Amino acid sequence: MVTGGLPTPPLPRPGGRPFPSSRRWSISTAIQLLALLSIAILVTFAVTVRHHVMLSDSNAAIRDGSQLGAPQSDKKLKVPSPAEEARKRVQKEIATLENELEEMGKKYMEVGLKFESLKSSLERDAVKNARDVGNVDDIQQGDDQARQAPLTQFEEREPKKWWIQQEVFAVSNDSSAKSSGGGEGAIIPIDLSVNHLQLIEHAGGSPNDVSSMTAEEEFLPVVLPSDIEFRWRSKVRSGSKPGDAIKTSAYRIIARRAHSSNGEGGDDGVILWDTGKVESANGLPDVVKWNIFEHEVAAGSIIEWRVSVWDSSTTDNPNEPSTSRWSKFAVGPGDEEWQGKWISHPLDVDSFQITDSAAYWRNDDKAQEIACSNWERRSQLPLFRAKISSYDLYKDGSDDDEIATALLVISGLGSFRASVDGEPLSSSGPLDPPFTDYAQRVSYRGFDITPYFTQSDNEENTHVIGVTMGSGWWDHRPIKGSFIRLFLLPRGAITCIAQIHVTYKSGKTDVLLPTGNTSSGWQVAKGHIRESSLFTGEYIDLKSMAALDGWDTDRQWATISPNYEGHHSWVEPVKYESDTTLRIWRYQLEFKAAALKSPDDSIGPVQPKHRLAPIGKLIPIQAPPVMPTERLYPDEIYSLGDGRWMIDFGKGISGVLRFENGLPDPIVPPNGKYPRAHNMATLGPNDKFITIVYGESLEMTTGDINLAVVAGMGLHDSGPQHKSREAGWAESKGGPCYPKDHDAGSLLQRDVYILPEDDEGSNQGSFSDARQSHFTTHSFRFAEICCTAEPPTGITALAYRTAFAEWGNFVSSNVRLNGGYELVKNAMNSNMLSVQSDCPHREKIQYGGDIIADSPAAMHWYDLSAFYRKAIFDWVDQQWDNGAYAGTSYWLNLNDYAGIGQGAGETVWATAPLVMTARHMWHYGDLKLLNETMRHHMEWMRFLLQNFDDGMKKKGYDEELKGYVKEGSGLGDWLTFRGRDTWLTHQSFYMAAARCIAYISAKLGLSNELIEMSDLAKSIEGRIARIYLKNGKDYFTPPEPAGGNMSPGPEMSLFSRVVPGEKRCTVLRNYFKREGHTWPGSDEKNFLNSIDDDYLKEMINSGEVSKRGKDWSMGWSQWQGFNEGILAVKYSLKTLSDNGFHNVALNKASGFGCGTFEYMLSHNATTMWESWWRSEDLYSHNHPMLGASAEWMVSSVAGVGLHPKTTGGSTALFWPRLPNSASVLQYAGATQGTRRGDFSIAWRFEDLPSNEDLYDSAIVAIRIRLFVPPDGNAFLRIPEYSNGEGVDASMKYATSIPNLEEALMLSSEECLSRREAKMGFGYNFEFSNQTKLFTKVQRKKAIGTPCRNFLFHPSLDDATWSEAKTVAGISTHGIEVPLGSGLYDILVPNWQLRPEVSTSNGRIGSIPDYYKSKDVGPYCADSDTFDWNIDDASHLI
């Protein structure tokens, strides 16, 4: 046996105190020992105080932060010491204390009896004195005492020793599991990426016809020549011996010039770099870097590359290497290498006035009207184009030098779509480039357009580059907004920049058609899109589209008009030239954010006075673009009458409708009056139009789309059923540019197809030409089309998100769990459009709190290595000069009141970039990211050190939390049913910031920063523990009793290792005293008032409804549902499952009634709601914020996740927690992708009785299947009962790897068939307009459909297995088995099912069986979980 897990941390942390022996002592002996112990503690106490005073010179640096140096410095931080008078006062008190101790030694018996009261008094005095000195670290002197509080009065069992490693078999040393060599390699390299970016040949939902596309891919990674990093993952070859697939032993990378091979007989083309065979002792390398100094590569190069890998077969007779497919990337220009300049339509530039830039910074109605009028002049979007011919390609006369490659590099603000000869180069568009601070950095794309020149049928080789533009985040309609303040974003004329890099076979390179160069011949005209908005949709002019047909082809080329004759005339573009600087713009933002204390006239005015905002440096795109990743077909189409059609796509998405067959001709409603939200008052009387209104849910009482909950920027009047806002509220808040056609009391998600009447009175163009909008996305499941006599045919919905790879899944037998998992996933998919947003309609921006709460779930589903890297740099760009991070990745003056001032976001939200950097290292192992961001994170830490305590005082928090009985200033555990403990979340994330810096410092080898930040984190831990254990009741809640019911409760501090070890069991026990309560929500009240008496009785009997005063009310539950907010969902579930109460966590997640997945599903949800309660007039119905449960399902219910101490996802932890009763769950399975490969698990109960009444008492078997990919490692924790009792298990491994890919494919097909048969959640509530009552309707749905994991697919039944080995269960410790690559089968032959424990007071009560018991299991007493470990990224916060 080997104790311990992964490598020990650089700085060992002290463990918890040992539990007392069971030996009995006499009363006299006990008293004497207690007295001696008291003296020893007091002596230590005095020495500790002296030590802290002596070290105050250096420790004060942590408090002041003014000397925090660059992270690479090894110099000890020094700052001036605290006030000398305060020091002398404390020293004098220490001397007095030492004298008293000497006297106490003579009276030890008396001291022993009075120990507790004396110790408490001295502790309070010392802490008070330390606070007087003003040194943060001195607080630890008193706070550490809280971590050495008296032992619990309960008789605890011996602590469980989590977890003792026991090697069962070492596959790598098993000769029977090795091949004799000489065959195909066992390890296949897959998913090749450059700088975390993978080539995308065709997006999953792309409408582009692959067969007719000349371009070979829809996304080509682009990198700078100085920054090329190769990565790949591993999979195992079917039929391989597991011993061969343990790890990669060597690799070889070959890079060649793209298009240089004819693909025949070993022709590798023009080789640019060949590493040769490189031995790799540690297996798959984290990264391989291109050595630019030895192998120079020029901007404009297009490179194909592949990797070959050797496996672990014997050196004497190795297998042949396995070789990947060729992948491709391009090398782009640095910002200084661009010859092209930003260009715009002259009308667009002319329409900006200096007063526009600050019109919305102040309440200037006149300036806002002018700004709106100017925007309306330019609202029609431009088209750019340029023509390239043989003359351009061979203008130097060297026409015998053939083209090798041609790379188009291009960007556009707001958004762009590029085409060549009328063919779109990608299906991206809504947000291309991705959302960044465009004043600081703008991403560009690269397109391999070589085939257009080398495979052209055009004798003159003439081609046209076309660029279609949208507004994006750059020149949106200037709506004033209610809280999304778009006017704080940089803004300017729609603009684009482009150039073509041509490489000839001789090696010569050239840059052609740079924008801004008059000789390039670029042209611009106003196009067919009258208006595009990310919030309100597009107006598409079908007449203009017909007139411009072929505009980006040679056949429709026209010379530039000598004079500007109209919108569609082609004119010469003008250069975009900003009349301000980035420094001035940032200064103005910082002053408005109060990140500057006083203005500096030498820089400029404090409010903008410019026409065109600055544009930042050009960088290669950092993350995959937003693309259509899925194509949905209608679930149902039905008539709403008068030419209005409702289309239901079955689940919520972010996207648009696409009409493959166009639209039918419109009709006018019979009464001439258009339905709500479909009116178009601003068009001509004879203009024809069709409107598409999008929404994620229906109004329960009307069946129409609910407009309020999807209203952009929250601009709505609450809808016809809720009169919480006056009519006209949305229009008044939206200002003078609120769209006049949006006269439904709400800002609409709407696309409009228009066919205007021409001068002769006839219409040119056709509705049959309509296809889709391109520069907007809508959040919807439902779409209303109005008005046509028949519904359109060939309708699909394109679901857009950032096109990163998906690699995780979860299945189980529990419909509610599956449904909850899908709710979160569908919402997450809807909110990953270049940033991780909170909702895809109202706000669309990236909040720190949301990303902290949901990133563990997101990192389960997707490879977010590039996406989260970009997100972290979004915050780095935002960071103020004073070091403060905002709560959003671009500052929009949102919730700044909740922070500690000076431009800082709320502490949780603003700490997101640090937490995400640590999590990125945990999952992806990118050391370069740590190096690049450390300085910025240290600046945030310095800001906190200098301002946190004072900021908390200014927010009204008393140092000792006197009078703290309800939530203070902050966001905290947002949208919990309870009050929010904002003091705890502020402090905990201050601690988390210090832990993150310590964690990063450990990875970078920065010893000084590691020590100092570890000490700071420890002192904040101590502060929290001292105050939250102050009342002596061990609830770990605020000291005022009335403040003990807030959220998070103790679960966050238990999970993050803040609760002292000696207190963990009692705190956990007291946690079960928490109860739920009734809920007075307006929509819940309306529902109860609209159901019949029989169903009301059913709800009362089930406990879903109880009395609140005189009225019946729904209730929320602590233990049979969720009450937690954005943060505590994770902490509650994980704490329960990790500490032996997984059955309680399962009850929470699979419960019924208000505050559960069942509640949302029963009200027809397909995406996660923003709140646990129903909201038909305020909160979003597509919001992953509360979705941390999805990661818990994978790591705890199924039982696979990253090991807490791993980096780069190299080691997984298999830890399936099993239910007490099979009535809750019979099987589960999941896959967790990592940078190494895919780790998979599946478990099931076998030998279940046919009588389900015995599901909580029968003895059954448990079978577990695990798969560890090549180059991966894992630990399996053998199942135990929740009381820690071990069980025997037998283990074996597959001696030959079966065809897992086939099993996965077949099981996926079977699951799809089950979903098509709608075998999931089976009912929902519907409102009858006849009876005016809600009724429960049995309606089959796909969501929640149970499916089996592929590891139990029958195609694997013929696998050959090794001899089974038995692992004996032991009650004294858990067993953790290390595993190498391979497929494993584990059998627990005798497992006793048990009934669940009941709550008191029905559904909303506590669990007295647990808090009254003297035994809450052994896990809370595990000393390994007492303190946070420096290598532990999981429990960092």
Other Cβ atoms less than 10 A from the Cβ of 516: the count is 20
Q: What is the CA radius of gyration of the chain?
A: 33
**Backbone φ and ψ of 677, nearest 5°:** 80, 0
Q: What are the CA-CA distances from residue 478 to residues 475, 827, 886, 913 (Å)?
A: 8, 28, 23, 30
Q: What are the CA-CA distances from residue 517 to residues 498, 523, 572, 1298 (Å)?
A: 11, 11, 11, 61
Q: What is the pLDDT of residues 64-104, one digit of tens each?
A: 333 333 334 333 333 233 334 444 444 444 454 445 444 44
**Backbone φ and ψ of 1017, nearest 5°:** -60, -40
Q: Which range (499-508, 712-721, 1023-1032, 1271-1280) has the least confidence?
A: 712-721
Phi-psi region of 354 (alpha: psi -120 to 50; beta: other; left: phi over 0): alpha
DSSP of 875-930: HHHH--TTSPPPSBSS----SGGGS-BTTBPPHHHHTHHHHHHHHHHHHH--HHHH
* Average confidence score pLDDT of the chain: 87
Q: What is the pLDDT of residues 528-541, one digit of tens each?
A: 999 999 999 999 99
Q: State the Cα–Cα distance between residues 57 and 75, nearest whole angstrom.
A: 15
Cα dihedral sign, 1381-1382-1387-1391: positive
- pLDDT band (50, 70, 90) for residue 710: very high
Q: State the Cα–Cα distance between residues 629 and 202, nearest whole angstrom.
A: 9
- C-alpha torsion 811→814→819→822, nearest 10: -10
SS3 letters across 928-992? HHHHHHHHHHHHHHHHHHHHHHHHHHHCCCCCCCCCCCCCCCCCCCCCCCCCECHHHHHHHHHHH
Selection from 572, 595, 486 nearest residue 878 by Cα: 595
Q: Please tell me the predicted confidence (pLDDT) of residue 210.
A: 79
Q: State the Cα–Cα distance between residues 1242 and 52, nearest whole angstrom.
A: 53
∠ CA 369-373-375, nearest 5°, is 115
Q: State the Cα–Cα distance between residues 271 and 274, nearest whole angstrom.
A: 7
8 A C-beta contact, residue 431 and residue 421: no
Selection from 263, 192, 259 nearest residue 229 by Cα: 192
Q: Please tell me the predicted confidence (pLDDT) of residue 101.
A: 42
Bridge partner residues of 1211 (DSSP): 1273
8 A C-beta contact, residue 382 and residue 526: yes
- pLDDT band (50, 70, 90) for residue 45: very low
Q: What are the CA-CA distances from residue 1291 to residues 168, 471, 781, 1288, 1379 (Å)?
A: 8, 60, 47, 10, 11
pLDDT: is 458 or 1311 the higher one? 1311
pTM of the model: 0.90
Other Cβ atoms less than 10 A from the Cβ of 370: the count is 16
Q: Please tell me the predicted confidence (pLDDT) of residue 180.
A: 58
8 A C-beta contact, residue 1117 and residue 1153: yes
pLDDT: is 169 or 1189 the higher one? 1189
8 A C-beta contact, residue 1275 and residue 1377: yes
Q: What is the DSSP letter of 1043?
A: G
- Which residue type, as a one-letter code, is found at position 23? R
- pLDDT band (50, 70, 90) for residue 161: low
Q: Which helix (H) or strand (E) holds 1374?
A: strand 1373-1379
Q: What is the pLDDT of residues 285-295, one digit of tens each?
A: 999 999 877 78
Q: Which residues have CB under 8 Å from 818's CB, separation 6+?
A: 810, 811, 812, 1320, 1343, 1344, 1345, 1346
Find the largest Cα–Cα distance for the chain: 114
Structure tokens of 580?
């301000």
Strands annotated E in 133-249? 161-165, 187-194, 222-223, 229-236
Strands annotated E in 1205-1322? 1211-1214, 1227-1233, 1238-1246, 1259-1268, 1273-1277, 1289-1293
Q: What are the CA-CA distances from residue 610 to residues 367, 493, 585, 1031 (Å)?
A: 14, 12, 9, 59
**Backbone φ and ψ of 862, nearest 5°:** -130, 160
Compute the residue count for the chain.
1437
Above 60 in pLDDT, residue 1024?
yes
Question: How many Cα atoms occupy the beta-carbon half-sphere of 668 within 13 Å?
Answer: 8
Residue carrying the six token digits 């931080």: 77
Above 80 in pLDDT, residue 567?
no
Decide the pairing of beta strands 161-165 and 1373-1379. parallel
- Which residue type, as a one-letter code, is found at position 629? T
Q: What is the pLDDT of residues 952-983, one digit of tens each?
A: 999 999 999 999 999 899 999 999 999 999 99
Cα dihedral sign, 291-281-309-218: negative
Q: State the Cα–Cα distance between residues 1420 and 162, nearest whole angstrom.
A: 10
SS3 letters across 692-727? EEEECCECCCCCCECCHHHCHHHCECCCCCCCCCCC
Q: Please tell me the predicted confidence (pLDDT) of residue 597.
A: 87
Other Cβ atoms less than 10 A from the Cβ of 1360: the count is 8
Q: State the Cα–Cα distance between residues 1400 and 1397, nearest whole angstrom.
A: 10
Q: What's the average model confidence in pLDDT over 769-775?
A: 97
Above 60 in pLDDT, residue 830?
yes
pLDDT: is 78 or 223 the higher one? 223
**Backbone φ and ψ of 520, nearest 5°:** -75, -20
- pLDDT band (50, 70, 90) for residue 565: low
Bridge partner residues of 1265 (DSSP): 1242, 1385
Residue 40, Cα to own-chain centre: how many angstroms? 50
Q: What is the DSSP letter of 197?
A: B
Bridge partner residues of 646 (DSSP): 638, 784
Q: Which range (392-396, 486-490, 816-820, 923-927) has the least confidence?
A: 392-396
Q: State the Cα–Cα distance between residues 802 and 836, nearest whole angstrom.
A: 10
∠ CA 543-549-550, nearest 5°, is 165
Phi-psi region of 1356 (alpha: psi -120 to 50; beta: other; left: phi over 0): alpha
Selection from 831, 977, 961, 989 nearest residue 898 by Cα: 989
Phi-psi region of 1298 (alpha: psi -120 to 50; beta: other; left: phi over 0): beta
Structure tokens of 505?
């076979």
8 A C-beta contact, residue 57 and residue 78: yes
Q: What is the pLDDT of residues 367-426, one digit of tens each?
A: 999 999 999 999 999 999 999 987 778 766 566 688 999 999 999 999 999 999 999 999
Above 50 in pLDDT, residue 106?
no
Residue carrying the six token digits 């929404």: 695
8 A C-beta contact, residue 485 and residue 414: no
- pLDDT band (50, 70, 90) for residue 115: very low
8 A C-beta contact, residue 1335 and residue 1326: yes
Structure tokens of 406?
């041609």
Q: Please tell me the predicted confidence (pLDDT) of residue 315.
A: 67
- pLDDT band (50, 70, 90) for residue 781: very high
Above 70 in pLDDT, residue 28?
no
Q: What is the DSSP letter of 226?
A: T
